[in-house]
Structure 1
C-alpha cells in the first residue's frame, strides 16, 4: 500500500471509531450515506461579470465549490488577496455535487476563458454516489488543460446528526472520493491536492474543533484552518 493510500484510509476511519461494515452491509442501501437531496434552490455565491473581469486581467483564480465554499469563500478571498495579491471569482453552490460544478467550469471556460489557476472545492456531496467522482475529476482536468494548475480540496464528511452507521458510511465514502482524487493526481501532474482530510485526521480533537456538524467548518477556527491550507498550497506553487 502506498503512503498516500495509507494516509487516506487512516483519515477515513478516524471519525468513526472501531465499527466497520462488511461490503454487503455497505451496499445494502446504496452506498450507506442515503440520497443526495435537491440542491438547485439552495444558497449560492456566483461572481458577476464585473467581478470576473479583474480576475482574468490579473490572472487570478476561478473557484468552483459547494456549501463549505459558500460559507468560507469571502474569508478565503480576503486571506488570499492579503497574502498574494490574487483576486478570485467564485461559482459556489450549496449541496452541489462535482458533476454540475464541472459543468460550471466548462461554461465559464467557453464564456470567459480561464485563468492559469483553478480551485475546485467540491466532493463532499459525492459521498452519496462515490464511483462517479473520478470521471468528473478527469473531465475538469481536460477542460483546464495541462498548462493550468488545478487545486482540489479533498473531502471529510461524517455527519454528526446522522446515525452511527450513516456516519461510518459517510467517512468510508469520503475516503473513497479522496482515493480517486489521489489516483487522478498521478495521472495529472498539474493537479495539486489540498489535504484537508489528512489535516483533520492528524489530531482527533480537530474533528470537533474544526467542524461544527461533521462537514462544515466552525468559524473562525475551522474556516481559518481550511483557508490557510488553500492559501499555502497556492503560495507554494
Structure 2
C-alpha cells in the first residue's frame, strides 16, 4: 500500500452519522481544535525505569521508550515480547496524559544524564490532538536529540473518544490525521525516522474500530487483542529496521 495524504487522512476513520459530517466542529478560533483542552496530567499514573534498569539497556544497546497512557498499560507486555523475539531490553519513560513536548523533554534529560542507545521508541502523540500544530517541531527536536546515527521508531495515533459527542469524535479523528500527516512529512526530512502504522492497521478493516474490538474507548487498546496487535506492529518495525 502506498501511503498518500489521502489514505493517511482516512486512516482510522470512525463511523459517524452523516448529519455530524455536515456540522461545524470547534476550531482554533473558538479556543481549541474541536477536541477540547488537555487537562492536568502531571499527577497521572506513570512507569519510569530506574537507573538500575537503564544501565543494562545501554550496555546491550537496547531501546529507550517514551510514551503516554497506552504505553503505561502496554509497556510491560511489549518488553516481554521484545525480549522473546529480538533479545532486546527496553527502558521506559511512560506517563499517562502527557503530550509530546514533555516526553521529548524527558528524552533530552536521559540523553544528558545517561547517553542514548542506538534506537528510540516514541509512542506519543495521542494527547497532542488538543493542540496539533505544535507536534511537528517536537518530531524535529526528537530527531536532533537522537542524532544522525540513531533510529527513531514512532507509533502514529488513532483517537476518537467514544465517551464524547459525535462532533468531538469527529474532531479527534481529524486531529489524529493531522498528527499523522506531520509524522509522514517528517519522515521525508529524517531518513532515520520509522513510522509504526497503528492508524493504518485499524483503518484497514472497519470492524477493528467497532464494538471495542481493538480500542476499548476509542484511544486505549483492549487487552489482550488490541495490546497484542499494537505491540506486534512495534516489534515488527524494530525487527525490520
Q: Which of the five TM-score ranges fits, normalised by the shorter chain?
A: over 0.9
Does residue 210 in structure 1 map to residue 211 in structure 2? Answer: no
> What is the DSSP-based 3-state SS (H/G/I as helix, E as strand, rest coil) of the residue aligned with 2:130?
coil
Cα distance in 1 for residues equivalent to 2:74 and 2:37: 25
Does residue 150 in structure 1 map to residue 152 in structure 2? Answer: yes
Any residues of structure 2 matched to 1:17-96 within 5 Å, and which?
Answer: 18=18, 19-20=20-21, 25-27=26-28, 28-96=30-98
Q: TM-score, normalising length from structure 1?
A: 0.96
Does residue 226 in structure 1 map to residue 227 in structure 2? Answer: no
> What is the DSSP-based 3-state SS (H/G/I as helix, E as strand, rest coil) of the residue aligned with 1:127?
helix
Corresponding residue for 1:164?
166
Report the CA distance shift for 1:185/1:22 in structure 2 as closer, same or farther (over 3 A).
Answer: farther
Does residue 13 in structure 1 map to residue 24 in structure 2? Answer: no
Report the CA distance shift for 1:162/1:84 in structure 2 as closer, same or farther (over 3 A).
Answer: same
Q: TM-score, normalising length from structure 2?
A: 0.94
Report the CA distance shift for 1:53/1:142 in structure 2 as closer, same or farther (over 3 A).
Answer: same
> What is the DSSP-based 3-state SS (H/G/I as helix, E as strand, rest coil) of the residue aligned with 1:59?
coil
Deviation of the 1:20 alpha carbon: 2.8
Deviation of the 1:14 alpha carbon: 3.6
Does residue 108 in structure 1 map to residue 102 in structure 2? Answer: no
Cα distance in 2 for residues equivalent to 1:173 and 1:21: 17
- Equivalent pair of 1:149/1:190 in contact (CA under 8 Å): yes
Q: Deviations over 1:136-173 (max 9, x none)?
A: 00000000011100000000000000001000000000
Runs (4 or more) in structure 1 with deviation over 2 Å come to 12-29
Report the CA distance shift for 1:87/1:15 in structure 2 as closer, same or farther (over 3 A).
Answer: farther
> What is the DSSP-based 3-state SS (H/G/I as helix, E as strand, rest coil) of the residue aligned with 2:195?
strand
Corresponding residue for 1:195?
197
- Equivalent pair of 1:56/1:114 in contact (CA under 8 Å): yes
- Equivalent pair of 2:25/2:171 in contact (CA under 8 Å): no
Q: Deviations over 1:90-124 (max 9, x none)?
A: 00000000000000000000000000000000000
Larger mean CA deviation between 18-27 and 98-107 belongs to 18-27
Report the CA distance shift for 1:174/1:17 in structure 2 as closer, same or farther (over 3 A).
Answer: farther
- Equivalent pair of 1:127/1:177 in contact (CA under 8 Å): yes
Deviation of the 1:21 alpha carbon: 5.6
Q: Count the aligned residue pairs.
A: 236
